[in-house]
Amino acid sequence: MPEITLTTLVLLCLAALVAGWIDAVVGGGGLLLLPAFLLGLPHVPAAHILGTNKAVAIVGTTGAAVTYVRKAPVELRTALRIGLAALVGSMAGAFFASGISNDVLRPVVMVVLLAVAAFVMLRPSFGAKPEGEDRAPLTRARIVTAIVVVGGGIGFYDGLFGPGTGTFLVLALTAVLHLDLVTASANAKIVNVCTNAGALAMFAYQGSVYWQLAAVMAVFNLVGAMIGARMALSKGAEFVRGVLLVVVFSLVAKLAFDQWA
């Protein structure tokens, strides 16, 4: 593991705390955590950053998933089917991730950040729970589509790269299965645990995880996730939009400066 100053460790732990909170409420905690790794550990190989990020994220995501399962409506059987496909997809993505360099990673992170920011800005209702609508039945065609597209496709993306996976899962499950946002968030956490597990298994096999750093950061990520899940269940996710946008644009600016300065 590379030498890390106390200041860098504190900042990474704070990033893990906030990322866990954001991920539990609206998804996309990796949009904060992965850039934080890139900024705090600029000379670490991309594969080790991705692997350590997964080791941190899986703890918080699991904590949020447990909270949602206990207190929110969850299509457990459907979520586990999608999650199995996502696990396989994420392992495949992680297998190819070892060839990614930081020079490629930074611009891709910036593009993903800007895309998510644009979506959030153009959809003021993002995070709001629809009222007065009956949920459409879960047909076999929708479930198969969710397994292939949401599970396999987004799972592969999560293993290969990762940031925004939670948000993409929520949006995809809402669109494909016609779930409301709170239910989609609950199901997305179960699928996200599977994608994290698949990717982490491959990164661990390749020796691309800094376990000591991940263990410290995971504690903060879990605390943030548990707080975020409870807030999402009680208040919804609308209040996070402003914070998320500020964080996104700040990180894009910093990454752009480091890339082209």
**Residues 5-31: tens digit of each pLDDT:** 999 999 999 999 999 998 887 777 877
Can you give the pLDDT at residue 108? Answer: 77
pLDDT mean over 126-137 = 56
User: What's the average model confidence in pLDDT over 36-63?
Assistant: 90
The answer to whether 29 touches 233, Cβ cutoff 8 Å, is no
Q: Domain range for residue 250?
A: 6-260
pLDDT for 130? 52
pLDDT for the residue 15: 94
Q: For the chain, how many structural domains are there in total?
A: 1
What one-letter code names the amino acid at 38? L
Q: Per the domain annotation, does 137 fall within a domain?
A: yes
Neighbours of 132 (CB within 10 A): 4
- What is each CA distance from 104 to 108, 122, 127, 241, in whole angstroms? 7, 28, 31, 28
Short-list 234, 232, 221, CA closest to 30: 221
Write down the residue that tokens 């698949």 correspond to: 198
Q: What pLDDT shows up at residue 223?
A: 96
The 10s digit of each residue's pLDDT in 225-257 is: 999 888 877 776 566 667 667 767 777 777 777
Average model confidence (pLDDT) across the chain: 83
**pLDDT over 70 (residue 125):** no
In a domain, 1, yes or no: no
* 173 found inside a domain: yes
Say which residues have a Cβ less than 8 Å from residue 140's Cβ, sequence separation at least 6.
none
What's the mean pLDDT in 57-80? 87
| Separation CA 175–CA 77 (nearest Å) | 19
Task: Give the pLDDT of residue 127.
Answer: 55
Chain centroid to Cα 121, Å, comes to: 19
Any domain includes 102: yes
